[in-house]
Structure 1
């Protein structure tokens, strides 16, 4: 197992949120170093010339979180908004097509809530990243739980 502090949680969050890659291009984590890298045609060619493969290293493919998780995060955030106009506009935004885009568009009218959303979202995604690491058996579950408690206390 890796110590949690060797893993770049911001990069892991990016990997967990990236749904724009094709089947042959993906993020992966090296279970020996904690390094997160993008695997694609160029990386595959380089690795082949060096004589290794992701699978040879025991690489763990990082699958993006389901889009419904993002929707639930917006719902959870909206439930905590105490300003009625903001809450109503955000709720309306997520009921339309392209809910995330409309949600973030509506937030521009409420700068304080916009900042709060990005802080909320970042903390939530870091928590998901830590849970993912624990679920994959890459970090000690006790260390993961302690890190999540610390993350929640900071926000």
Structure 2
């Protein structure tokens, strides 16, 4: 039986950031380190070759790892909606509501953010905070 280390806030933040970049993350319980590789669902057809060593190491010792998954599209959309709900200036709020109401809501949202640098900065902080919460919910 291996000693299970507590996941530090720094590792939790790293996991949240990697999940946001389309990775699947694995926390190595005995050493307190993190490994990751591209999530097949978010990166279909990615080249496994550069990741083979990490994938094999995790597969061979799967019981020593805790796997972390990214939010589903539905959950990520809800985070976007919650952020928009906090935009107090009604004309801007309505532009964002319109953007996510059409086809390709994530792309529309990100495109519109480029016109609002302050909101864009707030969005990245908000999204990271929500990602950290999501990772903490998976710890168990």
Q: Residue 103 of structure 2 corresponds to which residue in structure 1? A: 97
Calculate the TM-score normalised by the size of structure 1: 0.67
| 1:6-155 alignment runs, 5 A limit | 8-19=11-22, 26-38=24-36, 40-44=51-55, 47=57, 53-55=60-62, 57-133=63-139, 137=140
Number of aligned pairs? 124
Unaligned runs of 5+ in 2: 38-50
Assess if the C-alpha contact under 8 Å between 1:7 and 1:34 holds in 2: no
DSSP 3-state at the match of 2:64: coil
Unaligned runs of 5+ in 1: 138-155
- Higher strand fraction: Structure 1 or Structure 2? 2
Calculate the TM-score normalised by the size of structure 2: 0.74
Where does structure 1 differ by over 4 angstroms across 4 or more consecutive aligned residues?
none
CA distance in 2, matches of 1:37, 1:43: 7
